[in-house]
Amino acid sequence: MAKNFSLNQCALFPAEVNPVLEAEFPMLAGVQSIDYYESILSPSISVQVKILDVDGNLSAKGVYGGEKLAIKIVAGKDSELEDFVITPEDHELILNSIKDITSGVKQQTVTLQFVSKDLIKNETAKINRRYVGNITDSVKKILGGPDVKEPDIKGINTTKTLESHRASNNYAFVGNRHNAFDLIQRLQPKAGGAGYDDKKKSDYGFLFFETFDGYHFKSFRTLFEPEPETEYVKSEISGTDDFVIDNYNFSSGNDVVLNLKSGLYNNETTFVELDKTKITKIKFNMDKTEDLTLKPPKVPVNIEGKPSRIMLRVADTGVHQHYEENSSKLKDVQPFTDLAVYQNKSYARFSLLNSQSLNITIGMNPSLRAGQTIRVKFPTIDYINEFGDDNSKDISGKYLISHLRHEFEGGKFRTHLRLIRDLFTPENA
């Protein structure tokens, strides 16, 4: 484990609006632990700081919520790794809550929870306008951002950047006063990626999340496509301890019953069109779907043609109209059935992506991000199962970082990663 980091700063700065705290409040001496979180399923990064508060200094200085966080963790001179620095200006992590208060003699232990400023703004960002055009463009307008034309004045108006993959489909919708992040997450399964490879297979399934660098709206394929820049090895002997796996837990499986309950293989959705008093059935069959890049193994019993999940939904056909690119001219009415197929394929893609997971603990690496790929290597001698078989090939390989936690506690700096991949792509088959 990497031991050459040091915690040089942990402090609070006055809130933007109605600041009670008048000046910087240093917490370095009282810090017991720091946990920094990222996830491809979350629109906000977060931090928890556990401190020993002597003589009630937090309340005495006027720390009640809204204050900004600063952290500086410095790598040693001989380390290949970079510093980890959170500033009030660049990351705008806001004190959201003070909890888990444990009192002692003239002192108390408290946990301070910080979230992105945009997550707090999101609670009042009620989107009500109508959007027409490419889904990725709509996401950009909802978020705002420094380079976005025609941002929604009721949106987030973020100061952070958005790294995005352009969806292949247009979609018209009304915000209906949904919060900005909630609305973007509703758009995720409706977005499709452009066709690729010789068979022109489409890309289904988008994710919206925040990392240390900003926001991301990208497809599963786009995230998993880059070659890993970092490799970690499970070994007791290595040239450097910066890239060694300390602990791990591996889970591999194709849960047939769970897949059946989710309708992964075969499902049926009945749509009721209230304006036409019409009922439409949409069927999804994994075996007959040609444009997904991967598929699960066959069900071990004969259930061909039988849906394992049946759903009933109201078709929202009134506003979902499809317009030509760069034009206000109505091309056609986008069938809600097309959107249903997109969503079914997105859910299937997500289920398959989680078919293998690996939790590892490594020395702290501030350069890692949720949504990046890394490669792990388990030597043969390390991973022998109960039957004496070498399964190192099963666990080694390329993964996507789905969850990340940087941890400081007791003078130790660690990074905990949840890694995911599917069983069925050529590399992992």
CATH of the domain at 22: 2.40.10.10
> What integer is the mean pLDDT of 51-80?
90
One domain, residues 325 and 213: yes
How do residues 248-305 score in pLDDT, each as one tens digit? 998 766 677 877 877 777 778 787 877 667 787 877 777 776 655 556 667 777 777 7
One domain, residues 79 and 104: yes
One domain, residues 74 and 203: no
Q: Identify the pLDDT of residue 211.
A: 98
Within 76-213, strands assigned E span 84-86, 93-103, 107-116, 126-127, 130-131, 162-164, 173-174, 178-179, 192-196, 201-204, 206-211
| Three-state SS annotation for 118-143 | HHHHHCCCEECCEECCEHHHHHHHHH
91-100, 180-189, 230-239: which has the minimum mean pLDDT? 230-239
- Last residue in a domain, options 329, 346, 363: 346
Q: How far apart are CA 213 and CA 116, in angstroms?
A: 12
Our count of domains for the chain comes to 3
Ordered alpha helix ranges (H), 314-364:
336-353
Q: How far apart are CA 393 and CA 380, in angstroms?
A: 8
Structural domain includes residue 390: yes
Structural domain includes residue 133: yes
Q: How far apart are CA 270 and CA 309, in angstroms?
A: 11
One domain, residues 133 and 275: yes
One domain, residues 39 and 186: no
Q: With the CA atoms of 378, 381, 386 and 391 taken in that order, what torsion angle do they form, in degrees rounded to the nearest 10? A: 40
One domain, residues 295 and 403: no
As given in the structure block, the two tokens for residue 151 are 């941002």
One domain, residues 385 and 398: yes
Residue 321: pLDDT band with limits 50, 70, 90: low
Q: How far apart are CA 235 and CA 22, in angstroms?
A: 50
One domain, residues 389 and 279: no
Q: How far apart are CA 193 and CA 372, in angstroms?
A: 19
- Last residue in a domain, options 104, 120, 136: 120
Quote the domain boundaries for residue 64. Answer: 5-120
> What integer is the mean pLDDT of 321-340?
54
In the DSSP assignment, the letter for residue 56 is T
Max Cα–Cα distance, the chain, nearest Å = 72
